[in-house]
Amino acid sequence: MCGERDGTIELRYARLVLCEECFKKYFVERVRKTVDEYKMFKPSERVAVAVSGGKDSVALLHSLKMAYPDLDIHVIHIDLGIDEYSEEARKVTEEVSKLVNVPLHIFSLKEEKGYTIKDFIGTKYGRRICGTCGIIKRYYMSYLAKKIGADVLATGHLLDDVVEVMITLFVDGKFGDLITQKPVLEPDFPNQVRKVKPLVKIYEWETRLYVDLNNLPRLTRSCPLRIGARSIRRKEIIMRFEEQEPAFMRRLYRVFTKKLIPILEKSVEKPRLQPCKICGGPSLTGICSKCAREVYLKDKKHLDIKIG
């Protein structure tokens, strides 16, 4: 791109070899193009960026700020209360927010609700604790984004993540759920915000490189509660396809979003959602999965939890 420096980074999917400086620019440019292509937000909107401290969300925040220096960006962070892991996550998030000069809002489960993810250990939700953590995290990210007046919630989901989920859902025959992997999800309830995935065309190895080349802080620990590596194993298998056939993941994502999902949206009946009696959020049965878990903890473990 620059015609000056030696190219050291090979992007096989794009048949490009770039120098480090041009790679950083190319990364930011692709984030901008993805946002524009899917009309993720308007320049006048307030964008909440969910930062966990991991490399993907750090790369998301930094590249969004580089692509849109004047955008009204706010960082939101959920403190899950998982010992040193959460402490480091919080520290990294504070550091990177300061670095890009963006206000930070933290929601601490312990302080605001009276429990932590660790409280699920040893309960019936303990075996699938990552799923429970995801449900709770997603709820409070939306909640916090809404609370700070954001129009949009941006998350750091990457191409590798989305393709892995799509293949899993496809194999399991859960075609209706594929719709949730769209790059833009409009709210289906008034207390929600639009959710967007600006990194959805970026490979995982690219975010790692972007964070390294920009010397950005990032979480060094992995979550101590994480069990089962099925999704990681699947990602490795998908990566092997990619090695044999560059741009495989990009093509698969394109086919799913441009061809399959539009058909599904017409033919698959949307689940009939009703407002949760406790929090007002979307639910299938009248109590949402998040509130069901909070009620369970309160009843079984007699914790002083603020439900709702």
Site for Zn ion, residues 219 to 278, rule: CB under 5 A? 276, 278
Question: Applying CB under 5 A, which part among 26-34, 194-202, 260-268, 282-290 lies near Zn ion?
Answer: 282-290
Q: Does 166 bind Zn ion (CB under 5 A)?
A: no
Q: Are 293 and 136 in contact (CB under 8 A)?
A: yes
Using alpha carbons, select from 156, 152, 219 the residue that is nearest to residue 187.
152
Our CB check for Zn ion shows the closer of 1 and 260 to be: 1
Residue 2 contacts Zn ion per CB under 5 A: yes
Of 21 and 36, nearer to Zn ion (C-beta) is 21
Q: Which is nearer to Zn ion, 213 or 278 (CB)?
A: 278
Residue 148 or residue 278: which is nearer to Zn ion going by CB?
A: 278
- Eight-class DSSP state of 6: P
By beta-carbon proximity to Zn ion, the closer residue of 58 and 288 is: 288
| Environment class of 195 (CB within 10 Å of its CB; exposed 0-12, middle 13-18, buried 19+) | buried
Of the listed pieces 14-22, 87-95, 201-209, 235-243, which binds Zn ion according to CB under 5 A? 14-22
| Residue written as token pair 């056939």 | 245
**Cβ at position 19, least distance to Zn ion in Å:** 3
Find tokens 């979550």 and name the residue. Answer: 223
Please say which residue, 41 or 120, places its beta carbon nearer to Zn ion.
120
Q: Which of 40, 288, 297, 305 binds Zn ion (CB under 5 A)?
A: 288
From the list 11, 16, 17, 19, which residue makes contact with Zn ion (rule: CB under 5 A)? 19
**Binding segment (CB under 5 A) for Zn ion, from list 19-27, 86-94, 123-131, 141-149:** 19-27
Among 71, 96, 291, 297, binds Zn ion (CB under 5 A): 291
For residue 104, give the nearest of 91, 88, 114 by alpha carbon.
91
289-301 vs 129-147: helix crossing angle, rounded to 10: 110
- Of the pair 25, 234, the CB lying nearest Zn ion is at 25
Q: Is 279 in the site for Zn ion (CB under 5 A)?
A: yes
According to the binding rule CB under 5 A, does residue 284 interact with Zn ion? no
CB closer to Zn ion, 144 vs 178: 144
- Asked if 22 interacts with Zn ion (CB under 5 A), we say yes
Nearest alpha carbon to residue 249 among 258, 261, 241: 241
As measured in angstroms, the least distance from the Cβ of 282 to Zn ion is 9
DSSP 28-61: HHHHHHHHHHTT---TTSEEEEE--SSHHHHHHH
Structure tokens at 35: 């946002």
Contact 153, 141 (CB under 8 A): yes
Q: How many residues of this chain interact with Zn ion, rule: CB under 5 A?
A: 11
User: Residue 51's closest CA among 22, 74, 20, 84?
Assistant: 74
Buried-state track 158-175, b at ≥16 Cβ within 10 A, e below 16:
bbbbbbbbbbebeeeeee
Binding segment for Zn ion (CB under 5 A), chosen from 4-12, 31-39, 86-94, 143-151, is 4-12
- 237 and 163 in contact (C-beta within 8 Å)? no
Chain positions contacting Zn ion, by CB under 5 A: 1-2, 5, 19, 22, 276, 278-279, 281, 288, 291
